[in-house]
């Protein structure tokens, strides 16, 4: 993993990329949202104060999924009626994955392309992708709340996003992101905290 270094166009601070393919990052000092161009970094926005957050995961948290090591390099924070949740951007040897953490319930997913997706769906409906049947369990109207660290695409200044979560009977998980121009499908698994073998976690006062 290379670590190209650049300077923040807003405050001049050093900006380190932990992943060479990152498209966007946030300056750790001035919280400017920076997008990579061919020659340098361009400021496209500013992260407002983030809500209080008690995810045990942080940028730099390492773990293992399916015998592949990963490190969390960035995240998108969403707000919904149960509070906030994080979509942690994981970097593995062969690309990106996402670790969603909502109230300490963990799901690892990978973006998949070329699957047929419904324009809209209802709770209880079932869909089959890659010969696995998924049933819609929740439809969440979420509100983009902020970003941190490196992301594999430009993502800022979003508004309301609808997420559809689906589960299979074997523990496979799917989520359809209706936030973009076309719906995007992510497939993965619901995971137990201990399965991920996480290191470099946040510490909680009074807890070990």
The site for other proteins (CB under 8 A) is made up of 28-29, 51-54, 56, 58-60, 81-84, 103-105, 122-124, 135, 137-139, 167-172, 190, 192-194, 200-208
Tokens, residue 150: 């490196």
Q: How far is the CB of 38 from other proteins (least distance, A)?
A: 26
Q: How far is the CB of 97 from other proteins (least distance, A)?
A: 18
Range list of H helices, the chain: none
Closer to other proteins by Cβ: residue 35 or 71? 71
Closer to other proteins by Cβ: residue 113 or 131? 131
Closer to other proteins by Cβ: residue 111 or 190? 190
Q: How far is the CB of 208 from other proteins (least distance, A)?
A: 8
Closer to other proteins by Cβ: residue 181 or 192? 192
16 burial class (0-12, 13-18, 19+ CB within 10 angstroms)? exposed
Q: How far is the CB of 105 from other proteins (least distance, A)?
A: 6
Handedness of CA 146, 201, 149, 12 (dihedral sign): positive
Q: How far is CA 159 from CA 61, 141, 142, 178, in A?
A: 28, 11, 9, 12
Closer to other proteins by Cβ: residue 38 or 81? 81
Tokens, residue 189: 């698994």
Closer to other proteins by Cβ: residue 38 or 101? 101
d(CA 101, CA 61): 13
Tokens, residue 55: 């995810």
Q: How far is the CB of 114 from other proteins (least distance, A)?
A: 25
d(CA 69, CA 98): 13
Whether 92 contacts 19, CB under 8 Å? no
Whether 41 contacts 50, CB under 8 Å? no
Q: How far is the CB of 11 from other proteins (least distance, A)?
A: 11
Which residues make Cβ contacts (< 8 Å) with residue 5, sequence separation at least 6?
14, 15, 16, 17
């Amino acid at each position: 993993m290379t670590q190209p270094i650049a300077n923040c166009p807003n405050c001049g601070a050093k900006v380190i990329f932990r992943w060479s393919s990152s498209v966007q990052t946030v300056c750790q000092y001035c919280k400017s949202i920076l997008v990579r161009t061919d020659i340098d970094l361009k400021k496209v926005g500013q992260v407002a104060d983030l809500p209080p957050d008690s995810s045990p995961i942080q940028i730099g948290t390492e773990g293992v999924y399916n015998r592949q090591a990963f490190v969390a390099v960035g995240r998108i924070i969403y707000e919904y009626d149960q509070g906030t949740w994080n979509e942690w951007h994981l970097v593995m040897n062969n690309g990106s994955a996402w670790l969603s953490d909502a109230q300490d319930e963990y799901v690892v997913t990978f973006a998949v392309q070329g699957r047929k997706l419904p324009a809209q769906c209802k709770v209880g409906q079932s869909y089959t992708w890659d010969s696995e049947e998924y049933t819609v369990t929740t439809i969440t109207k979420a509100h983009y709340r902020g970003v941190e660290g490196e992301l594999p695409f430009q993502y800022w200044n979003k508004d309301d996003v609808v997420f559809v979560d689906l589960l299979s009977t074997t523990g496979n998980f799917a989520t359809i992101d209706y936030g973009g121009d076309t719906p995007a499908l992510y497939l993965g698994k619901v995971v137990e905290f201990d399965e991920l073998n996480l290191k470099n976690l946040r510490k909680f006062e009074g807890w070990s």
